[in-house]
Structure 1
Amino acid sequence: MTHALAFTEEDLRRLAGARSFERGVGYVSVVSRLEIGGETTTATVDGTDAYEIELTEDEDGRLSGWCDCPYGREGNFCKHCVAVGLAVLEQAGSAPQQRSAAASRTRLLDDWLESRTREELAALMREQLAVDRGLRRRLELRAATAGDDSAIVRERILSLLDTRPFARHGYVEYADAHAYGQQAAEAVAALRALTAGGRAADAVEVAREALRTLGRTYGEIDDSDGLIGDVATGLAEAHLEACLSSRPDPVEAAEWLVRHLLDEENGITDIDLFDYREVLGEPGMTRAREMVVAAWRINPKAWTEKYLMERLLKADGGSVDALVAVHAADLDPNGHTHLVIARELEGAGRKAEALEWAERGLREAESERGPDDELVAFVCDRYTRAGRLADVVTVRRDLLGVRPSLTAYQHLRTAARTAGTWEGAERAGALGVLRASDLPVKGRWYGGSVLVDALMDDADVEAAWQAAADGYADQQQWLALADRIRDEQPADALTVYLRWIEPLRTETGDRTYERVAELLLSARACHRTLGTEAEFAAYLAALRADQKRKRKLIATLDQHGL
């Protein structure tokens, strides 16, 4: 059944967004090989490269698009899709006829193929295979998986994972990763076909080698879209399916699995040892445990060994003490491992020991890297629950002294207010820490002090202004202060705005010009409040005269009504 177009130009704009839609308008003239089918329209658009586009209308008339440009491969309705959609709309009147013709061609081809003899179809296929290497490779693999030659199957599957045909300078770039991923995905289908065809034992061996091959080459691929990661997951699943079907020797399978998991190059496959419980049985799981424990004892600080030990203990219902011992063998210098231990102990109902470990983490954390923010929050939360508000203040005060920041100041303020000790000595001491953590520097552009931020956060604008005058503020902080006082102290704010306009006179660039316009608008608001608009008009005229050669700046000022 043929039908008219169900989508409109507005649908294209909605799917693409205003920016991509406007850019797509400029590509309509380079749309070629446009074929309007029953539900699918295909075309080529000549952009940076020649891109292939496919637009599809579902049964409800909803439109979707696919393009092999980088933006389109991310799942976006790109400018090339817009161009093809617009080209189709230009032919809306003839769309029913084109769709009818496409349906007729399909029926004609089907009837013709069905009328050919077996010999004629084989000759036709051989003719096509001579010019389509991709099709030849896929059919060779299907033939091999249906036959008995394991060597050919292995060679064909591993060739699908070979990155060399797609690598430029030894690396598969983003533009080529999609094509490589599509080819590599055929290896997963072939492995599953082997298992389904009663050759699961062969599939196990080839899958192992395929996993090893992809693990070695993954670092040479730009997998920003995660396509190759999906292939790796598929290979792992195909391997497990083959193992469940063939039932390999459990001890040998366990040894392969643990060696595979301990190999850092195989992290992409994301295999979980415990998915193989049924395959390994008790003999295999026992051997796996032996190997993991031995590996961890040799290298207790290695991430993989530590993770596998933790996984073993949790899966087997091991003691909390054993799990604590695994974590305690490699304590992070920021105290995060102490937090992990504390949570495990607390989950086991050992709250006092949990708090002791967390407190130890605070004491042992290196000043440059710790303590971990989550660890601090954990301790403070437990102190608060116990009514130890003064201890919360102490922890927050110590942290401010180690790492002065606005966040640390805010946390201390909250804790001290809860304890009723903020106003007075506590606040004065905190501000003293911030003042001592920086040196006053007049006229600084960047790197303003936390002191000014803290005073503004306290809404103590007068003190913040004084700190800025003492040299603790950068440009952004001065301007933030000026914005705060503009209504009540327009003269002081005006001084700030004019001060920061002056150095911009010697700079160029769109961002600079926008900044000048923003500052002039703020200055004008001050003059209006002061009733000195004539003075601003004279200043602006002088500035425009001085900067008249910067045509983009003058145009920017005009756009802002200056």
Structure 2
Amino acid sequence: MFARADIDRYELGQELCEQVGPFQVLAGQVVAVVCDRQVRLTGADGRLTGECSCPAGLGGVFCEHCVAVAVLAVDVVRPLDAKALLTAVDSVGRTRPDATYPDRWADDAEKLLLTLEEATIGHPAVTRPLYQRLVRRLARNGSNLGSHEAYSLWSDAVEQATTGLVQACVREPADPDELAVWAFDLQAEEPAHFFDVADLVEALGPRGLATYRRRLDQAHRNLAPEDPYDHHSVHQHGVIAYIREQFLVAFEPDVEVLSAFYAENPRPGSAVSIAKALRSAGRVDEALAWLEDVPRRSHEGDDELARLYEVRGRYRDAARVRWDIFERLPHSGHYRALLAVAEPLDAVEYATDRAISCLEGLRQRDENADDLLAELYGTRGRYRDAARIRWNIFERVPHGHFDRNRERAYWALLAAAEPLNAVEYAKNRAFAHLREQVARSGADAATSLVHLLFVAGDEEQAWRVAREHDLDDRQLAHIARALAHRHPTAAIPVLVRAAELTIDRRTDKARYARAGEVLAEIEVLHHRAGLDFADCLDQFTAAHHQPALLAALAKAGL
């Protein structure tokens, strides 16, 4: 398909994919706007031609803008299996991350979200209600997840699903009244804190916001008097109060209205919300006076106070507050905020040295604190100390289903070793450590070793370890999905082997359908890597020429 474009324009086109505007799919054509350039692709007799309003396109060149549209159009022109998507949405939505092995759920969620994102380009009217269904189902499974890792993965999925819904609404606007009712009912019926109606403000528009406000006011009026001994009554009043506060702060930041609200619904963060409303109204000095008078400010209150000091150019006061925040919770975000106010005072080095001393003095450092300490050691030329901390982080990553964390820790370790001319030593020590884990724990630890071998480019050794420990189709699929983010070409043969094992080793009737789903993932990776999927599919079907497989492939649109 991309033979029309030279390699430089192909690479530029891939970088422009995110700049492609809404598609218009016509008979045999795809029309789109890329960076204010009008693009039209036409396919006929197996040949793809492109027209673009840029200088190169007007000269007959298949330009980078045409490449960007062509990369995304692959999934637009292919028929969409809405029923299969609905099944996948329900499958992910009715389950939740397991506290022990949360990445298993995350793999399925990530696959679904990627599929929905790609389908939205050409079929937003189909994906928009699917996103709404997914967000609601995820909301029902978001409490008591059992571990920070599980909650983080669930939270990421909710955020991606909400972002996808917004994008679908951009491409296919929803009815503002219906969307407003859906958003309010979602907040009222499910945990309200996970969803912010402000994310949908553009899709709702003035009409939708007015409908949302009427729905909120009606719910508030319909509340029976709160019974402090009735858990349901207390919960309902708390939910409606939270939604009202969120709406007032975001859309009606009037100090008097907020003060009246907090008089009726006293809560710890009320002073901060009023200060934010004052700042939004341009009344910065009033906001400062308000917060400075609060005797015991929360972390959020201190953050807002430092912000206000910065607005007024009071950098010493801002730095003092930023240091207090960092000292209470030393992580990279608070350190960056501290540096931002230290710079106008020419105190960046002083702030960095003080931050190092604070981190070194902690009795217990978590991974975030260690990560920051290693980074700061590097800025100070303390490379041995940085490498020591990076090794500690790598060594602490649990084996089994935390491969992305391990990959990040591995590359950070090598980066720390480079100034010491110890990259090979660090590599050898890292893989020796993983082999020791495999010797103790077996196949679960072997998935981590195989994944990292692929990441390091040692594919021959990776396959040797996979065969030695007889990894099954699910373990290989897990490795491939962890690779797919940054190494799609390396992930393809791993997923192909997973599909083969699904057919060869499983005996249930669903094995062909499962193999078809894996092959659909493989097709996506081929497109992402700019490779031809047809040869791969032909080889697979020739080796496994079964009517049930062919039926599953047809159902998957392959």
Bigger radius of gyration: 1
- The structure whose RCO (Cα within 8 Å, separation 6+) is larger is 2
Whether TM-score is above 0.5 comes out as no
Return the TM-score normalized by structure 2.
Answer: 0.43
